[in-house]
Structure 1
Amino acid sequence: MKLYFYLIIILLSLFSCNKDNGQDDYAFLGGEIINPNSNFVVLSKAETVIDTIPLDNNNRFVYKIMNLDPGMYTFSHGSEIQTVLLEPHDSIMFRLNTLDFDESLVYTGEGAKKNNYLINEFLQNEIDEKQVFKLCQLDPTAFEKQIEAIRNSKSERLKHFKNKYHTSALFDKIAQSNIDYSYYTSKEIYPFVNYSFNKRHVLNSLPKDFYSYRTNIEYNNVSFNEYLNYSSFLRSNFNNLALEKHFEHSKDKQFNNVSLCYNLDKLNIVDSLVSNPSIKNNLLYYFTISFLTKNSNIENDGTILQSFLSKSTDTKDKEILTNLVQSLNNLRPGAQFPNIKLVNAENTESGINSLISKPTAIYFWSHNFYDHFKESHRKVYELKNKYPEIDFIAINIDDNNFKTWINTLNRNHFPLQNEYKFKNPEESMHTLAIYPMTKVMIIDKDNTIVNSNTNMFANNFEEQLLGLINR
């Protein structure tokens, strides 16, 4: 297997050495995917799909991009997404395991060093984020000092890399921007992560120049999407701008992130500051679906939807969220649970309502969210022992073959009892409004919905189970 990769890299390097005497710029991208979720990889740039590339019988591919537009490209497999920086005459191979997607990703070939740097910084950023959450409990001055130190450490690593290897101006710009936007995001999340319930007080305690960098932020430059941390910054920035706006006309001391007023403020600010359709529509969709999936007051769904529909220009997004609101409305507490069709481990079909004879918690999983699959099943093992009065039904949402589903459960030594998969995944996911994947639905013994959107990892989940038992 390693020999195959070495041969491919040598061949691609030979191709790369031939500069085609002035012909169009190009780059090669190839790879091997272990434990694939599908038989193809989707290659995109700036949200435009370039091609859907099939995997061969060994789950490998090699693809040549002609007329290369240098920059960050996205390759996706299943629900997993990662980026790669491609410049003229790069010939990059990667190898990854879907069970550990980002951590297993390693690049080889011409152009690999800069991409291994970027992926390592991406993984380091995930570690730093956890540290920043703890630092948010410091006072603003101490917090600034600590995140400045993190930023300086990243800048030193970049300086060392640039001194060791010949880097392009494009790489330098992207790498430095990732550092800067990570730093900006740390500042934007400070009021939200700080433990104080009085967010107004937290905002008022910040130094006047705490957000001075905002004067240089560009909201409408679509090329900024090539910076890995830019999208995260925008989301955090608009959360924070809306918080400041909200407190101008609200007297609330305790902040509620599913407040209708706050979320309407957020959509209005996006609408006022962002004119680029791609950036604007993505933000509007993200904030609206986040509200809809967290909101427990269904009466507010229609209001937020109408605000979204008046601002977004994406027809597909409008259809998706309109349908989502309709599904959520059908899943109100007190409604009958839809009798969706399931298949059990013996490949026998049945309606879910025939399986419910006592209080039941229904949870979902996908091969594309492998960590959640394992963590949720382990959590349910604990809950079953504590609450034998309740049935726990697991449903796999994937549209893949029966054997893959069973093999995954067996490989992880999870019993097949109360394990099901959708007979019609797309239709069932729409009916049950399954987003996010952590959603759990609580049903009483009469198939009546008690809660259609809870989370088994929430602090009050066991209280909900006790309430279900005592109904």
Structure 2
Amino acid sequence: MKFYFTILFISVTLFSCKKNNEEPALNIAYLGGEIINPNTNYIVLSKDETILDTVYLDGKNRFLYKIDNLNKGIYTFRHGGEYQLVLLEPEDSLLFRLNTLDFDESLVYSGKGDDKNNYFINEYIENEKEEKYIIKICQLNGEDFQKKADSLKDFKAERLNRFVEKNDPSDLFLKIAHANIDYKYYLSKEVYPFVHVGENKAALLKSLPKNFYNYRKEINYNDSFLTNHHGYNKFLRYNLSNLSLKTHDDHEKNACFDKKSLCFNLDRLKLIDSLIINPEVKDDLLYHFTIGYLAKSKNIEYNKELLKTYLSISKSEKGKERMLRFTSSVNNLKNGDKLPNIKIFGYDDSEYRLNAKVYAPTVLCFWSFKYFDHFKESHYKIKELKVKYPEINFISINMDGKNIEKSKNLLKGNGFYSPNEYLFKNPEVASNVLAIYPMTKTILVDKNNKIVNSNTNMFSVNFEEQLLGLINR
């Protein structure tokens, strides 16, 4: 703890001297900490998707970093495959301690700025638990669901009020804290019709209390402050999907809702074009929904039509180029075609062709450090399936490039290391050719290297049925 007290002493002395002289706030902040059981010897600090620096740990797995010319707001620090957010304001001298074996739950802040960040991390952990509760109450009728959702929002608002009375936080903190509460509540309302059991979504929407979506009158669809706010962006995705249900119902005349419907997806893209002006938010939404449809569609003509609409609306040249390549790959990965011959590395640094590793019915799945939960869940699932289906060859491939030691250490540290683990030689090329989106995408290949299913998911309810079909070919 000597490390912590030293930093705090220096920071407090510096800042208290400044305040006693009533000088303007110094536009700097310190971020430091200690990582128990580190996966790598560094953290990556970023803001608004822009990487600011790679900060290396010392011999005791500690670090201290000074941010000059601070742009106050939410920053992200990443370590291994995990990340967390931190609010930094002028003169903050913030320290944290975490254990990678229990990343979020072990994270504790100290120093100047600790109260607000401990508030946010506790809120984050509670929100993860809350998601299961929301799914459960979504099965209630609209009126009862609304009462419980309102009660949950009121509880959070009261807790925030108590925090404010005790800590007197900044306006920036309050703006973020209120946005967290509001958009979590709004999201639960937008999720309701999609999670509620029953296929006639139009009829369900008509049965809701008249004030169920009253908050929509106050929504700013082009809030530049919330452009990178996860809750706001997630809300927009569900809100726009929900609003598109009405237009879709007008076309389909009360037919059962099908999120794979071309009509519904076209309506959603057009709605985004009509409501969203902010180019960053607009292009992100257009890209998200278009690639999500294309990744699951096997109808080449429908794919062409949706792609045409996307290209006519999007202003992102980079997004258009990527979508054209992705659509071409999806359309070329037809069932019965040969698996593309991608170059891979083994953890002995040997180079192979992916086709050479397919000598039996094979399952191909993928992982990345960026999606740590998926990394763990997919490998646990593979372990389970290997026992049940020994006839099948399970191949898992890392998407992050040739960082053999980093990947090997993560696999070994979590008990997942096996001979059937590989890395792509060129992840970007492989991702384009195999149309790997989302990361949960799984490809089934028979013993003759022919694609049986170019896009399935090992977590789907009928996946084991697909495996039996693969074995019996």
- After TM superposition, the score normalised by the length of structure 1 is 0.91
Contact 1:29 1:64 (8 Å CA) reproduced: yes
**Separation of aligned partners in 1, 2:193 and 2:90:** 43
| 2:251 maps to 1:249 | yes
Aligned partner of 2:422: which letter? Answer: Y
- Whether 2:398 is the aligned partner of 1:399: answer no
> 2:462 aligns to what?
460
Secondary structure of residue in 2 paired with 1:338? coil
Q: CA deviation at 1:57?
A: 4.0
Q: Which moved more, 1:244-253 or 1:233-242?
A: 244-253
Matches within 5 A, 1:86-125: 86-98=88-100, 100-125=102-127
Amino acid at match of 1:211: Y
Any conservation in 1 of the 2:402–2:424 contact (CA below 8 Å)? no
SS at match of 1:361: strand
Match of 2:306 among 288, 304, 307: 304
Residues 44 and 79 in structure 2, CA contact (< 8 A), matched pair in contact too: yes
Residue 114 (structure 1) shift: 0.6
Query: Following the alignment from structure 1 to structure 2, what is the Cα–Cα distance between the partners of residues 226 and 71?
Result: 11
* Counterpart for residue 174 of structure 1: 176
SS in 1 for 2:304: helix
Could you give the per-residue CA deviations for residues 422-457 of structure 1, whole angstroms, max 9, x where no partner exists?
233333233222222221100111111111111111
Structure 1 residue 277, shift from structure 2 partner: 1.1
Pair 1:415–1:162, CA change in 2 (3 A): closer
1:44 partnered with 2:40: no
Distance 2:74 2:405 in 1: 36
> Which of 377, 388, 396 does residue 390 from structure 2 map onto?
388
Deviates more, 1:91-100 or 1:121-130: 91-100
Summarize deviations over 1:192-251 as a string: whole Å, max 9, x none. 000111111111111222111111111112112365521221111111111122112222
Does residue 348 of the first structure (1) align with residue 347 of the second (2)?
no
Matching residue of 2:265:
263
Aligned partners of 1:75, 1:410: CA distance in 2, in Å? 24
8 Å contact kept, 1:360–1:444: yes
Residue 134 of structure 1 and its aligned partner are, at CA, apart by: 0.6
Structure 2 partner of 1:201: 203
Question: Residue 421 of structure 1 corresponds to which residue in structure 2?
Answer: 423
CA 1:356–1:18: 2 relative to 1, 3 Å: same
* 1:102 partner letter: D
SS at match of 2:97: strand
Which residue in the other structure is 2:3 paired with?
4
What letter corresponds to residue 131 of structure 1 in structure 2? Y
Residues 107/226 of structure 1: CA separation in 2 closer, same or farther (3 Å cut):
farther
- Partner residue, 2:144: 142
Give the letter aligned to residue 16 of structure 2.
Answer: C
For 1:350-380, what per-residue CA distance to the aligned partner results, in whole angstroms no more than 9, with x for missing partners?
2121222221111122344333333323322
Amino acid at match of 1:167: P
Select between 100-109 and 314-323 the one with higher mean Cα deviation. 100-109
Offset of residue 272 of structure 1: 0.5
Indicate conservation of the 8 Å contact 1:222/1:278, yes or no. no
Change (3 A) 1:406 1:70: closer
Aligned residues: 468
| Deviation of 1:11 (Å) | 2.0
Relative distance call for 1:99 and 1:311 in structure 2 (3 A) is farther
Q: Contact 2:26–2:90 (CA<8 Å) still a contact in 1?
A: no
SS state at 2:227 partner = helix
Query: Which residue among 203, 219, 222 is the counterpart of 2:221?
Result: 219
User: Which amino acid counterpart does residue 116 of structure 1 have in structure 2?
Assistant: N
Task: Please list the CA deviations of residues 16-73 of structure 1 after superposition, one character each: whole Å capped at 9, or x if unmatched.
Answer: 334383375332233445534574513214x5x3722432444554343344443333
Deviation at 1:85, TM superposition (A): 2.0
* 1:98 Cα offset (Å): 4.9
Query: 1:33/1:292 Cα in 2 relative to 1: closer, same or farther (>3 Å)?
Result: farther
Separation in structure 2 between the aligned mates of residue 63 and residue 448 of structure 1, nearest angstrom: 52
2:282 matched residue in structure 1 = 280
Shift of the 394–217 alpha-carbon distance from structure 1 to 2, 3 Å rule, reads same
Whole-Å Cα distance in 1 between the matches of residues 169 and 27 of structure 2? Answer: 18
TM-aligned CA distance change 1:91 to 1:415, over 3 Å: closer
Q: In the superposition, relative to structure 1, how do residues 375 and 53 fare at CA in structure 2: closer, same or farther (>3 Å)?
A: closer
Aligned partners of 1:75, 1:325: CA distance in 2, in Å? 33
1 CA distance for matches of 2:283 and 2:100? 30
Contact 1:263 1:291 in 2 (8 A): yes
**Which runs of 5 or more structure 2 residues have no equivalent in the other structure?**
none
Q: Is the 8 A contact 2:55 2:65 kept in 1?
A: no
- Check conservation: 2:222, 2:278, Cα contact below 8 A: yes
The more displaced of 140-149 and 21-30 is 21-30
Gaps of 5+ in 1: none
Q: Counterpart in 2 of 1:54?
A: 55
8 Å Cα contact 1:372/1:438 also seen in 2: yes
Taking only the aligned residue pairs, the percentage that are identical comes to 50
Distance 1:311 1:15, change over 3 A: farther
Residue 12 of structure 2 is aligned to residue 13 of structure 1: yes
Distance apart, 1:415 and its partner CA: 5.5
Once the two structures are TM-superposed, the CA of residue 141 in structure 1 deviates from its matched residue by 0.6
Identify if the C-alpha distance between structure 1 residues 286 and 82 changes in structure 2 by more than 3 Å, giving closer, same or farther: farther
Pick which of 324-333 and 30-39 moved more. 30-39
Instruction: Give SS of 2:134's match.
Output: helix
Confirm or deny: 8 A CA contact 2:73 2:89 kept in the other structure.
Answer: yes
SS of residue paired to 1:229: helix
Q: Quick one: distance in 1 between partners of 2:179 and 2:56?
A: 34
Paired letter, 1:4: F
